[in-house]
Chains A and B, each alone.
Chain A
Amino acid sequence: KQEVTQIPAALSVPEGENLVLNCSFTDSAIYNLQWFRQDPGKGLTSLLLIQSSQREQTSGRLNASLDKSSGRSTLYIAASQPGDSATYLCAVKVRENTGFQKLVFGTGTRLLVSP
């Protein structure tokens, strides 16, 4: 059974710092990995999608890497801003015994960026 873990559970940094969020998964048989952002009480906003054949994806100040063999992904946020404060979730797409696919989510990292 696929399990996804995110470390740290919470992170507090001053504005302007570069930071790294970690995501680990136990089964390397994934189709892709997606990073999401969730503001309190809101839905999920997709940030980056990395296919299993890719090593990294970039969007603005965000860079996500994927090392499928070691079961790890990192989300790098450059020059953090207070508006980056949110919970960040990673999710892996897996294939079940039924043949159908689903997303398995990590536990999330709650980020607070102070002005």
Chain B
Amino acid sequence: KAGVTQTPRYLIKTRGQQVTLSCSPISGHRSVSWYQQTPGQGLQFLFEYFSETQRNKGNFPGRFSGRQFSNSRSEMNVSTLELGDSALYLCASSLAQGSSYNEQFFGPGTRLTVL
């Protein structure tokens, strides 16, 4: 069974540009969550999608957005990039949203560098 996949693995952008990251969950998983990981702040929750609807959102500015498609694949978009957006962006999938028994499985991440 294939794991969570994320594309691209590496990205270099300049300030002011926008970027779209993609995540394909494990087959059969319907919940997708996104996290940002930086050396200073650690792992922080961005948002969660389930059945094409955003179910929860972390404390990030509106420049960070996402969506989920009917096949459960998800994309996140960051507009007007800032230097501080440089980070490893991780996607995680689980079977369903809202169950305490759900284990989250993570992808390899997308390393975004903003110059």
Which stretch in B11-19, B71-79, B105-113 binds the other chain? B105-113
- Which residue of A41, A93, A102 contacts B100 across the interface (Cβ within 8 Å)? A93
Contact of B42 among A34, A49, A108 (CB under 8 A): A108
- Distance in angstroms from A87 CB to nearest chain B CB is 10
Q: Are A42 and B55 in contact (CB under 8 A)?
A: no
Neighbouring B residues of A45 by C-beta, 8 Å:
106
Q: Which residues of B contact A42 (CB under 8 A)?
A: 108-109
A115-B110 Cα distance, complex, nearest whole Å? 32
Q: Which of B43, B56, B100 contacts A105 (CB 8 A)?
A: B43
Inter-chain CA distance A103–B43, complex, in Å, is 10
Closest partner residue, chain A, to B91 (CB atom): A43
With A46-B104, A49-B103, A51-B100: A41-B45 Cβ-Cβ less than 8 Å: no
In the assembled complex, the Cα of A97 lies from the Cα of B100 at a distance in Å of 16
Chain A contact residues (Cβ within 8 angstroms of B): what range? 20 to 34
Asked whether A46 lies within 8 Å of B48 as measured between CB atoms, the reply is no
Give chain B's interface secondary structure class.
strand
| Interface pair B98/A43, CB less than 8 Å apart | no
How far, in whole Å, are A102 and B48 apart by their CA atoms in the complex?
8
**Contact among A46, A49, A51, A96 for B106, CB-based, below 8 A:** A46
Number of cross-chain contacts by CB at 8 Å: 61
Closest CB in chain B relative to A73 CB, distance in Å: 16
Q: Is the CB of B104 within 8 A of A107?
A: no
* Structural contact, B103 and A34, CB atoms closer than 8 A: yes
B23-61 Cβ-contact flags toward A at 8 Å (1 or 0): 000000000010100000011110010000001101000
Q: Which of A3-55 contact B (CB under 8 A)?
A: 31-32, 34, 36, 41-46, 49, 51-52
C-alpha spacing A102/B97, complex, angstroms: 10
Closest chain B CB from A7 CB (angstroms):
15
Given the complex of chains A and B, what is the CA–CA distance between A101 and B44 in angstroms? 14
* CB pairs A–B below 8 angstroms (24 shown): A34-B103, A36-B106, A41-B88, A42-B108, A43-B4, A43-B106, A43-B107, A43-B108, A44-B90, A44-B92, A44-B106, A49-B103, A89-B43, A91-B43, A96-B56, A100-B48, A100-B56, A101-B97, A101-B100, A102-B58, A103-B33, A103-B104, A104-B45, A106-B42
